[in-house]
């Protein structure tokens, strides 16, 4: 059983650019959530996908968007990058999306916006 994987590991972009981050869920999981973790802070929920549909969204602007594919892998897209978007982006998958379900996290993508 493979765990949650994310790519790329690190990324450097300039302000105003667009970025796509990728996540492969743990085998058998149909729910994926994305979190942003700024330096020195706890992760903040961006949005969740369940069976290819957005299932909830945190307090992030529309320039943060996502996709979930039939194989339950996922993308996070960020348009018009701002300096404050510099953070570790974490993807987490879970089996069914129930409250009691454990979310398994990937290693993250470190995004630096210059």
Partner 1 sequence: AQSVTQLGSHVSVSEGALVLLRCNYSSSVPPYLFWYVQYPNQGLQLLLKYTSAATLVKGINGFEAEFKKSETSFHLTKPSAHMSDAAEYFCAVSDDGSARQLTFGSGTQLTVLP
The widest CA-to-CA distance across the chain, in whole angstroms, is 39
Q: Which residues contact 89 (CB under 8 A, 6 or more apart)?
A: 6, 21, 34, 35, 36, 37, 76, 108, 109, 110, 111
Among 13, 30, 75, 104, binds partner 1 (CB under 8 A): 104
Among 25, 68, 106, 111, binds partner 1 (CB under 8 A): 106
Q: Which stretch binds partner 1 (CB under 8 A): 14-22, 66-74, 78-86, 106-114?
A: 106-114
- Residues of span 3-32 touching partner 1 by CB under 8 A: 4, 6, 31
């Amino acid at each position: 059983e493979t765990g949650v994987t994310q790519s790329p590991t690190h990324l450097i972009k300039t302000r105003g650019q667009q970025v796509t981050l990728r996540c492969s869920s743990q085998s058998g999981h149909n729910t994926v959530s994305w979190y942003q973790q700024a330096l020195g802070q706890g992760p903040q929920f961006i949005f969740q996908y369940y069976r290819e549909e957005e299932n909830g969204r945190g307090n992030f602007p529309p320039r943060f968007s996502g996709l979930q594919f039939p194989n339950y892998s996922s993308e996070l897209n960020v348009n018009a990058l701002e300096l404050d978007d510099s953070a570790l982006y974490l993807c987490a998958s879970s089996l069914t999306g129930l409250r009691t379900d454990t979310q398994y996290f990937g290693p993250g993508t470190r995004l630096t916006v210059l």
